[in-house]
Structure formats: structure tokens, C-alpha cells
């Protein structure tokens, strides 16, 4: 039987709590309120200087709740020792860490154009820190007012704490901890689902969670908290597939499809993981893509695949870039191609191209490929066909951990600056020359037919100013061209052209060397960009001494594009090259429907006549008549041949003559029904893209032989 001393009633807990509150002096109240107030201030300043998008008052209420919750937790941590002075210094440390955290999110966004969460920053830490290291002094000097704004709370705190002795952080009693934790739980519940008038909050926080959209729609605290939780425990809402039971897959002759005969019943029986079993059921429910007249068109030919740093079609000019113009406008010509930017910059662009999946985990998506069975990459497929398969990059060898990932993607050797690649213009040049990379690389494979060579270029990399090595090499040639043709470009855009002129020269050198070796006719060239040149976001003028003066306007992308991009579709429009001499000129093949980078892998696998299962890739073979076009962008925006959907404000814009409203179509009765259907497909593809690396799914179906 419990003694009376052991019994604690709810009434006594409340009585002790309020008695405890009455005993607080003014210093203690100020001390308890300072960190929550600082968090609210950080969110307000961040919204003002970084996001620059208005929020509904209800979302501000969510920020207040989140700041109170986070602030109270930190207040508890600042009261764990008996020393008030030590507790005060803990508070100062926490304030500084908060300021640094907000600044990191802001500065990374300035450099990469989107908000990147802790999971992606940690996963791509090597690449981000190297990139930032090149420009850290410039970033700080350019943004010192913002730096001071975020440092203001810690400066004020130290003055009040050390000079005016205004704070006191006394150790709480155990019961005080329990009481405050109860209050924090309430605040956390209130902050977890803030109301938002523009988007359903529950989906954005769960099944459609993306760090970038969560920061813009909610706040940094909520977005960061969920990013960390989902990285540790995985996102439970991204585990359940929607299966279209009304339209089951009907496969008459498997030989007519790009598929592999798989016993999914046996796989489900063997599985002890419910989530893997769900993936089996989802894949089995899909209709594979049909083989077509282009299946095996390139069978046995050599392949050179290139991801071009910051490439866009807006640099194409018959006089300045004739080789790129020829490649883009001949061969298999894609009239409506997109390379979406995800929260991972170059490495997530590579991920889409090389895996046919979507980078749902930012930088971490590519990093996971170093550990997993990447069965369907073009590299691994061609290795199984006894191709010589090599990868090259003229940047630092471990940038974005490519030294860990690329050999596992199907390249028996990865050459890069610092890992076997020699002949580059010194270690201090930035960025390295694409021409010099080609001079080193081509002899490694040109006489080893059949060969598969992958290049990740670098010359098109920012910054676009005279500090840039390849810009200095080519700027006079570009300025002369611009003057002759009356081109009215900003200094930054001229520098961008100069950077990409080096890539143009590398492509000219590549084609010449292949021709000299007598292998050009039997080689397929594939090329696209990794992302649009987001580093052109700032406007600057360069004087004759090389001094750079920055302005607070952003006309460079508009100056380059020739129009003001309004959405993901506008920014992501790009070019895809699939070219071989036999498809030149009048023999070119035109693809008019929307296509994007995730479609590249299944299309190439079909063109090379390789065995693969189209149900296990997110992209589509663009020649498969039974697959409808679908382009998926960051934050669940999407595009089809029927229209464009903006997931942020939940608006759908049908193409002219493509609205289902009032059309009497037997498939969809309205645009709303069509949008709902495509949204389900998009979510399925995002869930699948996340779960393939999470559960090493390809190894479940096609296990590697034990060594």
C-alpha cells in the first residue's frame, strides 16, 4: 500500500507549479523569456531577409508556438547546473548556435537557390564545405548587415548578462521540469500543424514534406525538426502506396515489354519487412513500358554521357557555340525538356540522370548509392555487357563524395583531380578546364571498344566573374562576339558565356578526337545540364581592375533567359542531347512531349536494347506508347502534356484545349479529378524513390552474389 507521501495529486502539482511561478523574480522572468523571444526574432528576420514571402497571421501564430516550445526547452537546459554563471554561459552558447543555424540555412540558400535541410547538408557536407570554402570570405563580406542582424540577440544578451547582471538562471526543482515539460508538449502540439490558407498543412508536413517548401510555408524550426526526425526514423507517411485497383496491369506477352519476370508472391513470402512487401505490391501493380521501333537502335554502340555544369540552352549561338548547337538540334531532338533543381544542386542533378529516380533525400540520395545495389544504372548494365566503363570529373575527387559513389554506379575506374587525373592547370585554378579533362580522358577509353565514358564537367561553374579561371581565358572572345552582334548582356552573363565557351571547346575537341580514332560513327553522345545557373541570381559589375561591385537586384537570369521566369517549369527548361552521326540532319527524331532528366536512363536502356524492368524506374522510356509524359519538380509541382500544376498554391493550369471541365471525357470528369489522379502517381514515385535506397530494394530483388 502506497504511503501518503508517495501520492501526488494533480491538484498538488498545479498548486506547487503556481507557487513556484509566484516566487520568480523579475530577473528570472526575463531570463526565461529571452531565448523564446530570440527565436521569434530569428524567424521574423529570416522571413524578412531570406524568404521575402508574406505569411498568414495563423502561420505567424504557429511560429510563436514553435518559438515558445523550442525556447522553453533551451531554458530548461540553461538551468541544469547549480552555477548561475555557468547556466548563463550555456544560454549564450545556445543563442550563438541558433544564430549560426539560421545563417547557415540562409547562406546555403543564397548559394544554391533553395533551402537545404540538415539531412542534405550533412549528407553532402564535403561538397558544401568545399564550395563554401572557396567563397566564405566573399559571402560574409557581402552579407555583413544580415550577419549583424542575426548576431544582435547574442550581443545584447552578453551586454545585459556581463555588464548589467540582468539575467539569473537558477536550477529548477525536479517537479518544475515536469510541469514545464507538460506545457512544452502543449506548445509542440499547437506548433506541429499550423494553419495555412494557401496549402493543406498536414500534407506538407507529412506525405509531401520537403524542407524547402516547409521553410517557405511554415518556419525554420518546424522544417528543421521534421527533417531531423524523418532522417532518423524515416517518414512514415512516405511508406504507403496508392494502387490503382480499377486499372490493373494487363500483360499478355512479357516479351513485348521492358520487364523482367519476377515472382512477387515468392518475394512477399520471403520478406519480413512490411514496407518492402508494400514496394513489391506497388511494382507488381504497374504496367511495364512497351518495346517499340527504337528498341535496340543503339545496341552494341559506344556511349559517352555528359552532365554539364550549369548548362542551359540560352547559351546556344551558331557563331559562339556551333558544336553545342549542332548536337542540341540534331539526333533525337527534345522540344520540351526539363532538368529540375532539387535540394542538392549538382549531385541531385546527377542522381536523376544516372539512376532514373528522384532525389527525395537531397544530397543523401546520391550518397546512399555508394552502399546499395544500383542494378539498373547504364554503367552497371553496360558492365554486364563487357563494356569498358570509366567516369571522369575535373573537380576535386571527393567533392560530393563521388569517390565513394561513382564506381558503384557502374564505372570500374573514377578519375578526378587528386585521383589519377593529371595535366590540369595547377591545383589553385578554379574551376578546372573541361578541355584539359578531355585531353587527359579520351586516350583512356577511345581504343577500348565498346566503351562507356561518363563526364561530370566543371568549367561552367560559378562564380561568374574575373576570379574564375576559365572566364579569364575566354572573356575577351565573348566580349568581341557580343560587340559584333549587338548583344546587351550584363557582365555576369558575359562571364557565364565565357565559362561555357570552355565547355563548347571541350565538346569540339571530343568530336574531333573520336573522328580521328575512327569511332565517332559508332558512338552515341548524351548530354544535359545538372541544373539551371542559379548562381546568376546576384547582379554585379566588374571594373577594369577585376573589382566586383554587387547590387540588390536580380536581373541576370532574366537577362540570360530573355524573360522573367515565374515557376519551376520556367527555371528548369533545358536541353537534352542524344546524338550520333547516323541521326544527323533529316534523319533526326523529334520528341515533342514533356521530358525530364529522370526519363534519360529508361530511354537509353531501351535504345541500347538492354534488359531492364521499367516498373522499377521513376522515369519513362519516351518512345513507349503506353506511358504518358510526366515531369516532376521539387515540392511536388508537376507537368504533363495536359497542363502544369503548382503544388504550393494548389492551382492547375491546363494547356489550351486540354481542360477536362465540361469535356465529357470518359476518363476524367473534371480537371480536379485529373489533378487528384496525377497527384497520387507523383506521390507514389516520390515514395518509391525514397524507399529504393532506404531498403536497398534492387538488392532484395536482384541480390549480389556473395563474395
CATH number at residue 435: 3.40.720.10
When pLDDT is averaged across residues 165-176 and rounded to a whole number, the result is: 70
Do 456 and 560 lie in one domain? The reply is yes
Do 179 and 314 lie in one domain? The reply is no
Query: Does any domain span residue 484?
Result: yes
When pLDDT is averaged across residues 654-670 and rounded to a whole number, the result is: 94
Instruction: State the DSSP code for 377.
Output: S
Neighbours of 192 (CB within 10 A): 18
| 302-319 residues labelled b (16+ CB within 10 A) or e (exposed) | bbbbbbbbbbbbbbbeee
pLDDT at 234: 79
Does residue 271 carry a pLDDT above 80?
Answer: yes
Domain boundary among 186, 218, 236: 236
* Domains of the chain: total: 2
Instruction: Give per-residue pLDDT as tens, 209-218.
Output: 888 888 988 8
Bridge partners (DSSP) listed for residue 338: 573, 596
Report d(CA 592, CA 561) in Å as an integer. Answer: 21
Does residue 175 carry a pLDDT above 70?
Answer: no
CB 537 within 8 A of CB 465: no
What is the strand order of the sheet 337-338 is part of?
Answer: 573-574, 337-338, 595-596
Domain boundary among 204, 236, 268: 236
Do 528 and 381 lie in one domain? The reply is yes
Cα dihedral 540/574/330/523 (nearest 10): 100
Range of the domain at 389: 301-610+619-629
Domain boundary among 236, 260, 289: 236
Query: Does any domain span residue 477?
Result: yes
Nearest to 432 by CA among 138, 112, 134: 134
Report d(CA 112, CA 123) in Å as an integer. Answer: 15
Nearest to 85 by CA among 21, 196, 161, 160: 161
Alpha-carbon separation of residue 174 from 99, 183, 188 (angstroms): 30, 15, 21
Instruction: Give per-residue pLDDT as tens, 283-342.
Output: 999 999 999 999 999 999 999 999 999 999 999 999 999 999 999 999 999 999 999 988
Do 192 and 315 lie in one domain? The reply is no
Do 227 and 338 lie in one domain? The reply is no
Do 355 and 217 lie in one domain? The reply is no
Query: Does any domain span residue 401?
Result: yes
Do 228 and 326 lie in one domain? The reply is no
Report d(CA 324, CA 525) in Å as an integer. Answer: 11
Please give the span between the terminal C-alpha atoms of the chain, in angstroms, as a whole number. 63
Does residue 6 carry a pLDDT above 90?
Answer: no
Does residue 152 carry a pLDDT above 60?
Answer: yes
Does residue 34 carry a pLDDT above 60?
Answer: yes
The grid coordinates of residue 664 equal: 465529357
What is the strand order of the sheet 638-639 is part of?
Answer: 631-632, 638-639, 643-646, 651-654
Report d(CA 236, CA 275) in Å as an integer. Answer: 10
Do 222 and 367 lie in one domain? The reply is no
Nearest to 337 by CA among 618, 627, 574: 574
When pLDDT is averaged across residues 36-51 and rounded to a whole number, the result is: 94
Residue of higher predicted confidence among 51 and 516 = 516
Q: What is the mean pLDDT of the chain?
A: 87
Query: Does any domain span residue 472?
Result: yes
Query: Does any domain span residue 649?
Result: no
When pLDDT is averaged across residues 653-675 and rounded to a whole number, the result is: 95
Query: Does any domain span residue 529?
Result: yes
When pLDDT is averaged across residues 388-417 and rounded to a whole number, the result is: 94
Query: Does any domain span residue 265?
Result: no
Judge residue 207's burial from the number of C-beta atoms within 10 Å of its C-beta, 0-12 exposed, 13-18 middle, 19 or more buried.
middle
Instruction: Give per-residue pLDDT as tens, 494-550.
Output: 999 999 999 999 999 999 999 999 999 999 999 999 999 988 865 544 444 444 444
Does residue 649 carry a pLDDT above 50?
Answer: yes
pLDDT range class, residue 134, cuts 50, 70, 90: low
CB 590 within 8 A of CB 600: no
Query: Does any domain span residue 114?
Result: yes
Do 203 and 328 lie in one domain? The reply is no
Bridge partners (DSSP) listed for residue 610: none
% residues pLDDT > 70 (the chain): 86
Neighbours of 581 (CB within 10 A): 18
Do 174 and 312 lie in one domain? The reply is no
The grid coordinates of residue 119 equal: 539531412
Backbone angles phi, psi at 376, to 5 degrees: -100, 5
Residue written as cell 533543381? 341
When pLDDT is averaged across residues 680-703 and rounded to a whole number, the result is: 95
> Is residue 306 classed as helix, strand or coil in its secondary structure?
strand
Amino acid at each position: 500500500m502506497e504511503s501518503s507521501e508517495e501520492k501526488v495529486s494533480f491538484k498538488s502539482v498545479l498548486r506547487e507549479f503556481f507557487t513556484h511561478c509566484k516566487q520568480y523574480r523579475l530577473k528570472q522572468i526575463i531570463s526565461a523569456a529571452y531565448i523564446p523571444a530570440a527565436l521569434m526574432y530569428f524567424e521574423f528576420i529570416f522571413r524578412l531577409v531570406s524568404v521575402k514571402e508574406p505569411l498568414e497571421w495563423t502561420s505567424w501564430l504557429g511560429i510563436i508556438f514553435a518559438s515558445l516550445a523550442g525556447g522553453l526547452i533551451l531554458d530548461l537546459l540553461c538551468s541544469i547546473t547549480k552555477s548561475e554563471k555557468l547556466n548563463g554561459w550555456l544560454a549564450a552558447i545556445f543563442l550563438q548556435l541558433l544564430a549560426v543555424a539560421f545563417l547557415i540555412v540562409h547562406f546555403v540558400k543564397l548559394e544554391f537557390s533553395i533551402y537545404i535541410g540538415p539531412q542534405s547538408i550533412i549528407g553532402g557536407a564535403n561538397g558544401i564545405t568545399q564550395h563554401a570554402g572557396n567563397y566564405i570570405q566573399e559571402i560574409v563580406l557581402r552579407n555583413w548587415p544580415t550577419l549583424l542582424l542575426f548576431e544582435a540577440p547574442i550581443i545584447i544578451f552578453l551586454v545585459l548578462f556581463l555588464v548589467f547582471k540582468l539575467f539569473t538562471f537558477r536550477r529548477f526543482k525536479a517537479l518544475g521540469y515536469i510541469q514545464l515539460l507538460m506545457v512544452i508538449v502543449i506548445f509542440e502540439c499547437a506548433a506541429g500543424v499550423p494553419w495555412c490558407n494557401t496549402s493543406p498543412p498536414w500534407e506538407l508536413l507529412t506525405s509531401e514534406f520537403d524542407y524547402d517548401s516547409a521553410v517557405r510555408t511554415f518556419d525554420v524550426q518546424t522544417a528543421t525538426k521534421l527533417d531531423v526526425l524523418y532522417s532518423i526514423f524515416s517518414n512514415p507517411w512516405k511508406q504507403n502506396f496508392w494502387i490503382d485497383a480499377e486499372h490493373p496491369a494487363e500483360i499478355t506477352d512479357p516479351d513485348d515489354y521492358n520487364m523482367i519476370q519476377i515472382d512477387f508472391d515468392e518475394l512477399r513470402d520471403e520478406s519480413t519487412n512490411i514496407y518492402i512487401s508494400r514496394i513489391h505490391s506497388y511494382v507488381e501493380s504497374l504496367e511495364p513500358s512497351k518495346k517499340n521501333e527504337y528498341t535496340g537502335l543503339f545496341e552494341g554502340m559506344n556511349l559517352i554521357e555528359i552532365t554539364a555544369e550549369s548548362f542551359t540552352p540560352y547559351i546556344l549561338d551558331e557563331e559562339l557555340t556551333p558544336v553545342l548547337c549542332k548536337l542540341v538540334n540534331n539526333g533525337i531532338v527534345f522540344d520540351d525538356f526539363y532538368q529540375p533543381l532539387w535540394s542538392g544542386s549538382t549531385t541531385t542533378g546527377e542522381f536523376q540522370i544516372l539512376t532514373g529516380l528522384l532525389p527525395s533525400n537531397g544530397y543523401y540520395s546520391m550518397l546512399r548509392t555508394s552502399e546499395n545495389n544500383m542494378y539498373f544504372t547504364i554503367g552497371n548494365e553496360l558492365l554486364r555487357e563487357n563494356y569498358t566503363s570509366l567516369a571522369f570529373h575535373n573537380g576535386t575527387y571527393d567533392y560530393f563524395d563521388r569517390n565513394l559513389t561513382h564506381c558503384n554506379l557502374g564505372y570500374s575506374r573514377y578519375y578526378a583531380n587528386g585521383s589519377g587525373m593529371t595535366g590540369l592547370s595547377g591545383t589553385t585554378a578554379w574551376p578546372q578546364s573541361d578541355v584539359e579533362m578531355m585531353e587527359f580522358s579520351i586516350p583512356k577509353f577511345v581504343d577500348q571498344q565498346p566503351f562507356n565514358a561518363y563526364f561530370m564537367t566543371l568549367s561552367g561553374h560559378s562564380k561568374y566573374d574575373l576570379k574564375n579561371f576559365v572566364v579569364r581565358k575566354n572573356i575577351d572572345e565573348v566580349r568581341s562576339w557580343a560587340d559584333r552582334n549587338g548583344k546587351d548582356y550584363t557582365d555576369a552573363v558575359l562571364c557565364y558565356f565565357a565559362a561555357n565557351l570552355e565547355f563548347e571547346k571541350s565538346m569540339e575537341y571530343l568530336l574531333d578526337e573520336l573522328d580521328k580514332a575512327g569511332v565517332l560513327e559508332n558512338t552515341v553522345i548524351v548530354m544535359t545540364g545538372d541544373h539551371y545557373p542559379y548562381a546568376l541570381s546576384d547582379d554585379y559589375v566588374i571594373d577594369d581592375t577585376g573589382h566586383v561591385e554587387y547590387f540588390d537586384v536580380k536581373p541576370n537570369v532574366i537577362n540570360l533567359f530573355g524573360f522573367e521566369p515565374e515557376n519551376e517549369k520556367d527555371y528548369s527548361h533545358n536541353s537534352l542531347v542524344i546524338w550520333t552521326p547516323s541521326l544527323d540532319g533529316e534523319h533526326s527524331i523529334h520528341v515533342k512531349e514533356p521530358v525530364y532528366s529522370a526519363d534519360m536512363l529508361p530511354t537509353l536502356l531501351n535504345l541500347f536494347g538492354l534488359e531492364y524492368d521499367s516498373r522499377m524506374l521513376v522515369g519513362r522510356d519516351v518512345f513507349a506508347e503506353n506511358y504518358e509524359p510526366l515531369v516532376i519538380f521539387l515540392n511536388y509541382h508537376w507537368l504533363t502534356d495536359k497542363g502544369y500544376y503548382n503544388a504550393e498554391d494548389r492551382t492547375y493550369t491546363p494547356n489550351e484545349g486540354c481542360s477536362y471541365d465540361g469535356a465529357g471525357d470518359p476518363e476524367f470528369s473534371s480537371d480536379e479529378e485529373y489533378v487528384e489522379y496525377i497527384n497520387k502517381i507523383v506521390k507514389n514515385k516520390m515514395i518509391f524513390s525514397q524507399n529504393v535506397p532506404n531498403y536497398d530494394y534492387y538488392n532484395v530483388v536482384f541480390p549480389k552474389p556473395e563474395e
